[in-house]
Amino acid sequence: MTTTYNDKQIQIIESAETLFAEKGFNGTSVRDIAEKANVNLAMISYYFGSKDKLLEALFSYRGEYLKITLENMMGDGTMSSMDKMNTVIDHYIDKVMKQQCFSRIMMREQVLNHTGFTAKLIFEMKKRNQELISRLIHDGQRKGEFRKNIDIPLMMATLIGTANTIVATQHYYREINNLQTLSDEDFQKHMKKKLSQHLKKLFKAILTHEE
Amino acid sequence: MTTTYNDKQIQIIESAETLFAEKGFNGTSVRDIAEKANVNLAMISYYFGSKDKLLEALFSYRGEYLKITLENMMGDGTMSSMDKMNTVIDHYIDKVMKQQCFSRIMMREQVLNHTGFTAKLIFEMKKRNQELISRLIHDGQRKGEFRKNIDIPLMMATLIGTANTIVATQHYYREINNLQTLSDEDFQKHMKKKLSQHLKKLFKAILTHEE
Amino acid sequence: MTTTYNDKQIQIIESAETLFAEKGFNGTSVRDIAEKANVNLAMISYYFGSKDKLLEALFSYRGEYLKITLENMMGDGTMSSMDKMNTVIDHYIDKVMKQQCFSRIMMREQVLNHTGFTAKLIFEMKKRNQELISRLIHDGQRKGEFRKNIDIPLMMATLIGTANTIVATQHYYREINNLQTLSDEDFQKHMKKKLSQHLKKLFKAILTHEE
Amino acid sequence: MTTTYNDKQIQIIESAETLFAEKGFNGTSVRDIAEKANVNLAMISYYFGSKDKLLEALFSYRGEYLKITLENMMGDGTMSSMDKMNTVIDHYIDKVMKQQCFSRIMMREQVLNHTGFTAKLIFEMKKRNQELISRLIHDGQRKGEFRKNIDIPLMMATLIGTANTIVATQHYYREINNLQTLSDEDFQKHMKKKLSQHLKKLFKAILTHEE
DNA sequence: AATGAATGAGAATTCATTCAT
DNA sequence: TATGAATGAATTCTCATTCAT
């Protein structure tokens, strides 16, 4: 099922990713991509058929991430549900930060009235995540760790919305907190830690505090 | 400073808004806008100079909202800081839900590496909001209502990210919660109430709970 | 129903006609047409929407011919059926020779497995002509002028096939008959006369001779 | 002189023939042909050099037909000239019907202002046929079977034009005569018989009737 | 002998904008 | 003030062909 891409194709996909993140899908021309990827213009059609199909390829290239490790963890009897949730949070943050470009693209694309392949893919990712989280939460509720009446979609929106917003506007965050002196790497670490603490705190409040 | 627009111009701006929200800025052609607004194609260039300038016009048309009422409230000595914060939350939710199209556009545009007018405008909105919130929080801290060490940008990211994400993906929310039978209006009310409760709970946790 | 075209449009249509006749529809680029018509490349899309639509326009521009005069003649009680048929023949030859380019295009296009507008238009022309002829023939049969058992489609194929083939290969005809010394105009006249005599003779044989 | 083609080449040529007949030469891409022939794309260039050369190959592959049997018949002293002519007619019909695709292609290509190989080939075929027919007719005239003053090119145009037109538009013919219930094979036989009768009748009229 | 990968040239079309009126 | 007509530039994509292997 999972397509594998050769070096040239990956080169193209990753160049496209950067550009789509910077200028949007429609704002990026196939010419731009060819130039950035250092390949012949026609090669993009040759390999992917069309610009749309290239976007699809990008989604299947990036879409696989995350799944497996989390699903393994779910059955672990030694971890508390809250620990599991915190692991999920860290995994999600990790993903968003590792795939910043792709996250931007997804964030943008999900807002449009898409009907195509990507819309379906985004929907499926969402659903899969939703199901994972639901199971986790219901487990926690059964064990008495989590309170009843949790609005999962809202909770997810907080996870996704907060992480993506802060990453998308990280230069504001850096400026406001006077972190320009930090190296890029250190800043990323710093932001990641802060974001992790913040979201864990929020989730604790959502999952355990009585009204 | 604030430009006023005539009927034709507003017609154009609002048509553009809907289309930009649906199909993105680059995905919308000036022709589309002219058609939707029922005006002559050339009139758009005539009135706004260019498509970019039209986007700017949209931002200044929609950007004004919110400011004043909140600024008046700030000085009010009879309200607790938490009440004020809750009012801000409701105001923001209100804005996002009333201006769903515009919110989508902003969400999309803020992600791009813009260098133009809109980037500046978005930055200024953000800054103004940030300052408002900062004042409010520092007041609360001074009065002992709020705890120390609050990461304001992260908190803002949660407000903005959660609200926009849930609005942008409201059809998922509706489906998952089996709310298709509600009228559109009732669904909006329902979502708004839930979102308000959710965010207020989160803010309470952020602002008052000890680690 | 009948669209009217402005000067620019006619200029484009007629340039396209010549080129389509010379090099075929697919062998002609929009660029070629624009050049020949001395108009901007984009104007063709502007006026006709697409190359296909331009072909349609050509067909409706040229397709009207012939109809009316013949239909008037049909009711004429003073003419014999054979006279009427001879008039039809002359009209058809006239049309093919006046619209040589268009005739070539039709001849080519009718051979393809078209499914679009032009196929429908050709079919309708054929049908209309067929009906006209059928009425004429049945009249003649009722009056005892024509014999029974006439295969009308075959007869039509002879009319259409002979006229178009001779026109399409007129340079052979000219060469073989050593008519290069004639002026173009005189040659056309000559060919027309010969073709007319030939077809009338054939039709007389078809319509009146006993087996 | 006559090239022989190996299996792969014939596979390619015949696939090309079908496609050229369906969609025209310019409407058919080398990719289409490779796909239909189930061969590698590059093999077409490899074997034939270019698309144009492939068309030439098709013409020499199909062009040989007919010649020999007819030339043998010419010298036969036992047949009347009219019998010979009828044999030629049947042979031609046979050829057009057996090589329907190729006939369509020839019909289309002869209409274009070609200057290349195919134009020459078509011209030579025409000339050869013309000469054959001329000899036959002059024989008949010498023997008193045929009348004087026969316009051979016009007569040929009737043979070629009628046969090709009826074959190219056979679905009309079938529909109009309500022959949809016949099997394809039976319909072909029916059409062939009718066409043969029709043309023989016409030729008799041309060749023998006094004005 | 055969082919997968690659490409330059050119295809049709759409775009935002301009300009004469 | 408003607009129909027009256009240069850029878009995506397809094409026949080549070439290293």
Q: How many CA atoms lie within 13 A of C75 on its CB side?
A: 4
Q: What is the pLDDT of residue C2?
A: 62
Q: Is the pLDDT of residue C80 over 90?
A: yes
Q: What's the Rg (C-alpha) of chain C?
A: 19
Percent of chain C with pLDDT over 90: 70
Measured between beta carbons, which residues in chain D are less than 8 angstroms from residue C153? 166, 172-173, 176-177
DSSP 8-state secondary structure symbol assigned to residue B9: H
Tokens of C18: 């010549």
DSSP per-residue string spanning chain C: ------HHHHHHHHHHHHHHHHH-TTTS-HHHHHHHHTS-HHHHHHHHSSHHHHHHHHHHHHTTTTHHHHHHHHT-SSS-HHHHHHHHHHHHHHHHHHTHHHHHHHHHHHHS---SHHHHHHHHHHHHHHHHHHHHHHHHHHTTSS-S---HHHHHHHHHHHHHHHHHTHHHHHHHTT-TTS-HHHHHHHHHHHHHHHHHHHHHHHHH---
Q: Is the dihedral of CA B2, B6, B8, B10 positive or negative?
A: positive
What is the rounded distance in angstroms from the CA atom of residue C80 to the CA atom of residue C86?
10
Q: Tell me how far apart the terminal alpha carbons of chain C are, to the nearest angstrom.
A: 46
Task: Tell me how far CA of residue B183 lies from CA of B90, B171, B179, C205, in angstroms.
Answer: 22, 13, 9, 79
What is the rounded distance in angstroms from the CA atom of residue D125 to the CA atom of residue D70?
14
Q: What is the pLDDT of residue D1?
A: 47
Which nucleotide is at minimal CA–C1' distance from C41? F7
Q: What is the pLDDT of residue D67?
A: 64
Asked if C200 has any chain D CB less than 8 Å from its own CB, the reply is no
Across A10-14, A157-161, C6-10, C107-111, least confident range: C107-111
Facing residue for A165 by CB, picked from B160, B166, B204: B160
Rounded mean pLDDT, A109-120? 78
Q: Please name which of C96, C88, C93 lies closest in space to residue C69, comparing C-alpha atoms.
A: C88
Q: What is the pLDDT of residue D64?
A: 67
Chain C touches chain D, with at least 3 Cβ pairs below 8 Å, answer yes
Asked if A116 has any chain B CB less than 8 Å from its own CB, the reply is no
Which pLDDT band, with edges at 50, 70 and 90, does B1 fall under? very low
Angle between helical axes of D7-23 and D41-48 (0-180°, round to 10): 100
What is the rounded distance in angstroms from the CA atom of residue D51 to the CA atom of residue D68?
30
Rounded mean pLDDT, B186-193? 96
Facing residue for C113 by CB, picked from D22, D176, D202: D22
Q: Taking the CB of residue D6, how many other CB atoms lie within 10 A of it?
A: 9
Q: What's the Rg (C-alpha) of chain D?
A: 19
Residue at minimal CA–C1' distance from E10? C29
Asked if B171 has any chain A CB less than 8 Å from its own CB, the reply is no
Å from the C24 CA to the F8 C1': 28
pLDDT tens digits along C24-50:
999 999 999 999 999 999 999 999 999
Instruction: List strand residue ranges (DSSP E) for chain A, in order.
Output: none
Interface test with B, best of A169, A199, A203 (most B CBs within 10 A): A169
pLDDT tens digits along C124-165:
888 888 888 999 999 999 999 999 989 999 999 999 999 999
- Which chains share 3+ C-beta pairs under 8 angstroms with D? C
Rounded mean pLDDT, D37-51? 96
For residue D117, give the amino acid letter.
F
Measured between beta carbons, which residues in chain D are less than 8 angstroms from residue C19? none
What is the rounded distance in angstroms from the CA atom of residue B186 to the CA atom of residue C126?
61
Across B30-34, B51-55, C65-69, C137-141, least confident range: C65-69
Percent of chain A with pLDDT over 90: 70
Rounded mean pLDDT, A64-86? 81
Q: Is the pLDDT of residue A105 over 50?
A: yes
CB-CB contact of C102 with C58 (8 Å): yes
CB-CB contact of A149 with A208 (8 Å): no
| Class level of CATH domain B62-208 | mainly alpha
Facing residue for A154 by CB, picked from B104, B153, B166: B166
Q: For residues C193, C196, C200 and C201, what is the CA-based torsion angle, rounded to 10 degrees?
A: 50
Chain C touches chain A, with at least 3 Cβ pairs below 8 Å, answer no
Asked if D154 has any chain C CB less than 8 Å from its own CB, the reply is yes
CB-CB contact of D90 with D159 (8 Å): no
Asked if A122 has any chain B CB less than 8 Å from its own CB, the reply is no
Residues 6+ apart with CB under 8 A from A16: A28, A33, A37, A54, A55, A58
3-class secondary-structure state, position B41: helix
Asked if B112 has any chain A CB less than 8 Å from its own CB, the reply is yes
pTM recorded for the entire structure: 0.90
Residues 6+ apart with CB under 8 A from A136: A74, A81, A84, A85, A88
Give the angle D100-D104-D107 at the CA atoms, nearest 5°: 135
Q: Whole-number mean pLDDT of chain D?
A: 90
3-class secondary-structure state, position A151: coil
Q: What is the pLDDT of residue B179?
A: 93
A202: left (phi over 0), alpha (psi -120 to 50) or beta: alpha
**Do residue C202 and residue D158 have CB atoms under 8 angstroms apart?**
yes
What is the rounded distance in angstroms from the CA atom of residue B106 to the CA atom of residue B103?
5
Å from the B46 CA to the E16 C1': 12
Q: Tell me how far apart the terminal alpha carbons of chain A are, to the nearest angstrom.
A: 47
Rounded mean pLDDT, D30-50? 96
pLDDT tens digits along B114-136:
677 788 888 888 888 888 899 99
Tokens of B104: 């989508």
DSSP 8-state secondary structure symbol assigned to residue D79: S
Tokens of C181: 């010394």
Residues 2-31 of A with CB under 7 A from strand E: 6, 8
Q: Whole-number mean pLDDT of chain B?
A: 90
DSSP 8-state secondary structure symbol assigned to residue D182: S
Across A142-146, C82-86, D122-126, least confident range: D122-126
Q: What is the nearest CA distance from C110 to chain D, expressed in angstroms?
A: 8
